[in-house]
Structure 1
Amino acid sequence: CGSWLVFVGPSGRVSVVDAEGKGVKTYQPVFEDLLSAACIDGKVIVTGRYGSTVILSSDTITPVITGVVDDLVHVVPTGGGVLAIGSKGSVVSIDLGTGALSVKELRGISGVKKAIMIDGNLYLLSYGAFVASLEPPSLEHPFGTNYYGKDLMAQIMVGIRMSLLIGVAVAAAVTTIGSMVGMLSGYFRGKVDSIFNTIINFVYTIPLEPFAILLAMSMRPSMMTVIIAISVLIWRTTARIIRSQAMTVASSQMVEAARALGAGHLRIIARYILPAVLPLVLLDFASVIAYAILAEATLGFLGVSAQDTYTLGGILNQARLTGAWRDAWWWVAIPGIFIGSISLSIYMLVRSLEPIANPRVKGSY
């Protein structure tokens, strides 16, 4: 600044060095948050993180303001004054002639690091996207925006598709494994049933969340990790449901007659057991989709789900990591509403079809 070199150090210390190297003046902190300086009309204006501002002129240091805003990161000289810029879009205008002060908030901006003035235009420089950051629901963004200014409606639409895809993949794996184990256990009984029951009881002792986290540590957080973690554990319920129905059919007269006529095990299972349990398999398929969506939301919230795409649980995890869930209610509430609505809709559908798929429960409705 003219013949000065001004340094703003940690804890608010300001050092002024003569350009010819003849002397150094150090000013002890007036405010401890000082971090940025600008030169105008032979004066040095230093601003602080929490709105503190001082003016250095000759041998004096004059405090001007403090505590107006709490996000200042840079100061820009203007004609007759300065603009102090905040990381969240705060703009403090200081007139050095009159001492007048005005504060503006640029809505929907965050992540500002520096600012420059060119031909009377103010340009904000940031480390990433900051436009429309944490905008509440509006006509332009019906579901609002996230911390990075991205439209949540677009993310949630992709998240619904990916969560449903995970649900269908898990349901396909679970009903396939559970149905095979249940039919074999219910049909053969004896030692086969005892072995499968031991395996099922063991799987029931494994909690989902710790198992999924360990699996993600050994592999990597991805859709496949979630699908494997859920599928490996919840086929046990399907197996027990199908086993019960298979045992009932296996002891029926038509199966006994088929055995007496010399029908093999494979033919009996394909001809009599499978058609009898198929309605329950289809019903369980829908139930597993609902469960898998809820399980993915839980695992996604913990950071175990896919990292390269959006899922409903992953969206909740982003809100948790940025801490925005405290203020940006829409970032948590809207994905949560979709998770609950989809799961509840599938559950109600399953309940309405259960008397058809399993006539034994008709009397309970």
Structure 2
Amino acid sequence: MASHQFINGVYYPCWRIYRGHAPSSLQLDAISHVYYAFVLVNHDGTLRFLDEHADCAIAADGEKGCLSALAKLKSQRPGLKTLVSIGGGSGSAEFPVMAANPAARVTFARSCREFVERWHLDGVDIDWEHPETPHDGVNYMAMLRELRQALPSPWFQISTALPVGQYCLKHIDLAATGQLLDCLNLMGYDFNGPWTDVCGHHAQLLPPAGRLEHVYPRLRNSCHGGVEYILSRGFPARKLVLGIPVYARAFEGAHGIGQPFKAAHELEYNELPPEWIQRVSVDRHAGAASFVDNSVGGKGFVSFDVPATVERKAQYVREMGLGGLFYWTGVGDVKGPDSLVRTGYRALHGIPRPA
């Protein structure tokens, strides 16, 4: 794969405009795709704004609303691909009903085409979290077929975000999906969190060495496991894009993998103390990093990606012939040598770190 073909995409959450992060705050010279998060779907297939003020009215980069600001950026950078991401972790409840209704699927596809043309976007990203039954899987495929008919290739792009877990993937015809999609954004994160019994790395490339995963099977979850499964089902490697979390998961009261914890917290990468990033412990086998905050009232075991783990994941992408990397989120990153987005871009394209 020629280096210029690698995707290095970021999700831009519209609500971050309230913290001063307009679309122009992204490190655009290191980004190929921007996924605008989120727009929501109704049961009848029509679309609705998640936050109409942020999307269409608030001052952003000299425009009214973040969608106009993104369109302005695209006009200034013709090579930039922009897609609207529909759904999200708290916005997916309507997908099963909509996708099960043939008329609603047609409406949805038509609504997506109208939205893309209105806001000068390149396509649509489906973030249905998650199709978890055989029935959902069949309807998911029917929805994608309708969407592709309304947004024909190569003029429009369609991507989807899916987890590494077979609880979802096993219900989807991945080979057929590979014929319909331009990209599958594999959410290689959230393997451990407040919903688990013990702490662990939340975005490991490979399971950590040792035997803890035999006691706690969830610790076996890994990016590689998801990649292997998807490729084994006939999905094209060049269309598979690996996700990087630009946030940490902290497990209060724990000091190492496999330990119980009192509470769990989420911290954006740019909220982490710089010394944590500098003093982080990197497990090069697992492609994961952690810091233990033992201070009074500290966060405990904290799992997050750093430039060294992003470089490892970019190397993996190149070795496996995958399509690139994406980041949730682009606005959670930092500028300078500790930037995850810029590190990924350099590593994918074989650009050495600045001295």
Query: Normalization by structure 1: what TM-score?
Result: 0.18
- Higher helix fraction: Structure 1 or Structure 2? 1
Structure 1 or 2, whichever has the larger Rg, is 1
Instruction: With a CA cutoff of 8 Å and minimum separation of 6, indicate the structure with the bigger relative contact order.
Output: 2
